[in-house]
A and B are shown apart, each in its own frame.
Chain A
Amino acid sequence: EIVLTQSPDFQSVTPKEKVTITCRASQSIGSSLHWYQHKPDQSPKLLINYASQSFSGVPSRFSGSGSGTDFTLTINTLEAEDAATYYCHQSSTLPYTFGQGTKLEIK
Chain B
Amino acid sequence: EVQLVESGGGLVQPGRSLRLSCTGSGFTFGDFLMTWVRQAPGMGLEWVGFIRSKSYGGTSEYAASVKGRFTISRDDSKSIAYLQMNSLNAEDTAIYSCFRGAFGDYWGQGTLVTVSS
**Chain B interface bracket (under 10, 10 to 19, 20 to 34, 35 or more):** 20 to 34
Contacts A87-B45, A95-B62, A95-B64: A43 and B107 contacting too (C-beta < 8 A)? yes
Chain A 37-70 per-residue mask, 1 if CB under 8 angstroms from chain B, else 0: 0100001111001000001000000000000000
Say whether, besides A95-B61, A95-B62, A100 and B44 are in contact (CB < 8 Å). yes
A interface vs B, CB < 8 Å?
1, 34, 36, 38, 43-46, 49, 55, 85, 87, 89, 91, 94-101
A-chain residues with CB within 8 Å of residue B49 when the two chains form the complex:
95
B79 → chain A closest CB, angstroms: 18
A89–B61 CB distance below 8 A: no
In contact, B47 and A89 (Cβ under 8 angstroms):
yes
Within 8 Å of chain A (Cβ to Cβ): is B23?
no
Q: Which of B102, B107, B109 contacts A96 (CB 8 A)?
A: B102
How far does the alpha carbon of A38 sit from the alpha carbon of B110 in the complex, in Å? 13
Listed by A's residue number, 19 A-B pairs whose Cβ atoms lie within 8 Å are A34-B103, A38-B45, A43-B97, A43-B108, A44-B97, A44-B104, A44-B107, A46-B104, A87-B45, A89-B103, A89-B104, A94-B61, A95-B47, A95-B63, A96-B47, A96-B102, A98-B44, A98-B47, A101-B44
- Against A, the Cβ 8 Å flags (1 = close, 0 = not) of B75-117 are 0000000000000000000000100001111011110000000
Q: In the assembly, what is the distance between CA of A87 and CA of B43, in Å? A: 12
